[in-house]
Amino acid sequence: MGSSLANPDRPLHHDPPAPCVTPPAPCVTPPARCVTPPTRCVPKTFRALAAFFAIGPLVLLGVASGLSPNQDGLGTHQQLGLPPCSMRVIVGIRCPACGMTTSWAHFVRGQWTSSLRANPGGFLLALYCIPFVVASAWSAKYGRVPHLTIQRVMVITLLAIAVVAIIDWFFRVGSGKLLALIGA
């Protein structure tokens, strides 16, 4: 009953053994450049991909700055040699993306009201580029994936932008015209 009483050097209560911890995998980047714990370091291909994602929206915004926004609110993409919207040509109604290039062309000029009028989803998507570029550049620089909360917020925001674009399209086309088109 009291083995500790017989041996005064043994404590009555002792801490449980420490859990077994496996050592982390070695960092793939040199320690001087590894700014994250070794288990969070990522390959150089991740950094390159993150840099590509950071540069991509900036290139699109740069292209939009070289376009003259069409006064009709859509068709600006034709300045790039692209054809007119297939949905407008075939079905006779605009698609959810109609006016998006025009929206971006207004956005980069600071004409945000015109950008919203051309396509609210396009305005929000152009605005979304700002935190997206920052998060991607941060990932490229530090070699870390953004915190899970940031990832979730970014995905939910992108989905909300898609919903806005579809709702805007529904109202622009007119619910009656759209329902007649799908046969309901």
CB atoms within 10 A of CB 174: 12
Range of the domain at 99: 42-182
Q: What angle do CA 139, 141, 145 make, to 5 degrees?
A: 20
- Looking at every residue in the chain, the average pLDDT score rounds to 81
Q: What is the pLDDT of residues 104-155, one digit of tens each?
A: 999 999 999 999 999 999 999 999 999 999 999 999 999 888 899 999 999 9
pTM for this prediction:
0.70
Residue 153 maps to a domain: yes
| Tokens 């699109």, residue located | 60
What DSSP assignment string belongs to the chain?
Answer: --HHHH-TTS-SS-PPPPPP-PPPPPPSS-TTT--S-GGG---HHHHHHHHHHHHHHHHHHHHHHTSPPPTTSS-GGGGGTPPPPHHHHHTSS--TTTTHHHHHHHHTTT-HHHHHHH-HHHHHHHHHHHHHHHHHHHHHHH--PPPHHHHHHHHHHHHHHHHHHHHHHHHHH-HHHHHHHHT-
In a domain, 87, yes or no: yes
The verdict on residue 18 lying in a domain is: no
pLDDT of residue 174: 78
Instruction: Give the pLDDT confidence score for residue 17 in this predicted structure.
Output: 43
Q: Is residue 150 part of a domain?
A: yes
Residue 131 within any structural domain of the chain: yes
Q: Could you tell me if 87 and 71 are in contact, meaning their C-beta atoms sit under 8 angstroms apart?
A: no
CB 21 within 8 A of CB 107: no
Question: 72 in a domain, yes or no?
Answer: yes
Q: Residue 5 domain-assigned?
A: no
* Structural domain count, the chain: 1
Does 54 reside within a domain? yes
